[in-house]
Structure 1
């Protein structure tokens, strides 16, 4: 990873005796990195961002910016700016005045303010909009102004708290691309918060998946999606089936697992598992293959078939009652509810998860 820009060390935060929001989390972020804190509501991601910004003080732990401890510094004393979901623009000010407000507070000369505001408007593709009021702009344009205002001070880190949440889907996707291009052009470290998995995968260099005040897994989008470490990550990011079974034997770099009255193979990924060990497999729904001839795989019955968002979704029930979802693009499928089929998957598409909570694994 690049030289460290921002570091969190064992940050702990509680808002009451009964609720610990952050449980000694640690994270190192490289200069020029786009990292996303991904998680559901209440997982602690916004509290983490507010601690980085200086808007909250941790109960314990430290925040470092370029190697300097800034834990106790006020927000204005940190070289960090924040873009909020509601944009927080001053309604009575023009676009130019909104963007240049921070520079004005720092008593930057007026000529320099005009120059830097003009540069920011070019950067966010809004030249000629400097005299308009926020009420005269679209949602996407207001978002660009908020970003320009945050960037005009050349911060070391830009914090973005679900900045696209108020936009419609089509504009949101377009702005994802624009934000990513902007970040790469400027080389500024972005710390982005979202609960949207697709957004995180599309934009991030790395993703930190949060769950109940902890980082469940930190890695590249490919690692998070294709090599989840826990069943939570597997089901929160994308659609994964969680299958529980028992190890029968190791076969070279694969493990044979007994589940739902049959046997399957999974990639061992360097783990050595003892026979009889309970294991959990995560298999993406797009990697489940149906066999109507019932010659290969696990016995199942089709429970439901539906179509949504370009994907056909087939719900299956295995012999032990486990629900499995198979998905594919298109609406063409001959299987019908009540039909007996078998389903299977390739070993490389079955990922061992939750190994830390299950015995018998060596690596």
Structure 2
């Protein structure tokens, strides 16, 4: 892709003593990926909003999407019928002068998209066994301690591993917490050499081993399910709250409330930590209470926006990674679907009263409720060191 002259001066190649200007984005260069992503994002916007191509998706420089099997159109340059949305996109590329090759314009079912086999009939995404084996082999390099010595790798190798794992999250989305300690490790203020050596610390090793164990036992197949569903469709609904002294959650459908003082040996005394600990306690309790052989839709309400964010994205600061890993362990094993949603404090009065051990006030709000105690999980602090 052609680049501005101001960028070209950063791409001077010396061959046999002569300087050569690379007028296009250097293949494999640090900025090349951003060029392609930005450009394809603009083309995708035009395709969706101007050419009205429905359900078009993009990943880096790859474009893909669904199409009715019977909805086809003739594309003259290739002398064949193709899915109509694909033809619309090819015509847009022709209009914009974007070159393309016929052998890369594939369609059908199943279809390999960004290296993942997608089956629209079975609603599955499959990571090929050889790619899964390669990923496990790479993880083994980072987690193997020869002679009890922590291994070190260059920054670019760390970045490659992070990109590789991010790609695998398309099939294994619940393994996202394994990178929560890696991101701070590879983040720097200001320029840094890609050859800089970084050691694997205990927290990162633990997270990568956790991901590796799940990958070893996985089939490599993800069955697609609806990710966005109304809270009214939940099988179980729980309200959570916490303060610096206690935690409480409440099943409105069952008139059951549960209380626990905050752990004295808690790895953090931050209120955010206790709010998140209350959510994972509620998830763990619900999983043990109901039939584990029947996957449930669980909704947990909390008035803490930070808790909503980390459980929705599975990304957090290192101290909260053990909480997210436990949540993912539960969801992987049970196949439950979890949504952690925000509720205004005024609508969370029952859980708030329970968390403060104000049981009389809680019973005034729900006279038929039974309040018991619960034991929160004991988790380590997920600290990180560079």
Instruction: Give the TM-score, by structure 2 length.
Output: 0.25
Instruction: Give the TM-score, by structure 1 length.
Output: 0.26
In terms of fraction of residues, the more helix-rich structure is: 2
